[in-house]
Amino acid sequence: MARRKASLQEKPTQTLTVKAKAVTFKQKAFRILPDNRVMLRLPRTYSRREIILEYRLSPKDFLGEVKQVKLVFSSQTSDWYLHIVHRVSVKYREPGNIMALDLGIVNIAAGILSTGQTFLVPGGALLALDRYFHKEIAKCRSSSSRRSRNLNRKWSRQRKHYLHALTRWIVDYAAGNNVSVIVVEELKGIRSDANWGDRGNQKLHAWPYRKIIRMLTYKAALKGIRVVDVSEKDTSITCPICRRRAKSARVMRGLFRHCGCLFNADMVGAYNILQRYLQEAGQPASGVVGGLARPAVNLFVWRKTTPQGREQGTFRQTA
């Protein structure tokens, strides 16, 4: 979906007053014109029946089959934005490397490639974000107060940016390492089957697992990469060396010790997800376990705040 700030191509002959915050134009009510312009047909209630808007696309963007056009009003900026919903054809890559992901809370993503490369993305930045806004919103006298509403909007904006940055980084990493398939754990029953205590369950139910996978799936598809899921049963307790189930191997949170080796527990989960996919696909198992002990750690770093209050950030690998 393309989201662009709309501007009138020419000065209108009358002021168009629209009370709704969003106006949808279906296929018969718009026409895409050359030079990044779109013509919108207005209802009979307006004496002016058409308006032409200009939009900007970055050089790497292109429009596929346009299905719908929306005009959406932003109360934060007091601007109207043009949303162009279009269908893009996807051409998937030839078989290449495989990436497996284990999603969590303390570490939001632990990843391993079939080549043996490993990486870890701590979830501390998102936890800190949620903690801060929970605390500030709790100080408000009313949930309907202006301050409370502004905090909720800002929280939603920053959370959404973090998730987009996370999934974009993972997909870019995959594309740069010739990955053709990203394997994730099946999320069916992930919340109902767990009991981590009151505070742990609250974090688990608020954690955006499905949103991460949804973002990951469409971003990966645009790069020609498939996202598939496998059962996560016993992936966190199976030893990567002897392949035995060992519940006692998780000696403390974050560590897995068995067969005389000490591994990062989340990396063990990612490794076993990879093995399960390879087994189900009839491919030979990957025996590379060296990277499970010390994966490359990537931290999220917030950047400068923009005038509209939209904080942005990116991921950087620690030394």
- H or E segment at 110? strand 107-113
The strand pair at 261-264 and 296-302 is best described as unpaired
Specify the pLDDT at position 12: 47
**Which amino acid, residue 225?**
I
Measuring CA to CA, which residue among 255, 232, 256 is closest to residue 246?
A: 256
pTM above 0.75? yes
pLDDT in tens, the chain (319 residues): 445 555 544 444 445 555 567 888 888 899 988 888 889 888 777 677 888 888 887 776 777 888 899 988 877 677 888 888 888 888 999 999 999 999 999 999 999 999 999 999 999 999 999 999 999 999 998 888 889 988 998 898 899 999 999 999 999 999 999 999 999 998 775 545 555 455 554 555 568 899 999 999 999 999 999 999 999 888 888 888 888 887 777 777 788 888 888 888 899 999 999 999 999 999 988 877 888 888 999 999 887 655 455 567 888 888 5
Specify the pLDDT at position 218: 92
Specify the pLDDT at position 120: 95
Give the DSSP letter of residue 61. -
- H or E segment at 197? helix 197-206
Specify the pLDDT at position 204: 54
Question: How far is it, in rounded angstroms, from Cα 117 to Cα 199?
Answer: 34
As beta bridge partners, residue 301 has 314
Contact 2, 84 (CB under 8 A): yes
Specify the pLDDT at position 206: 65
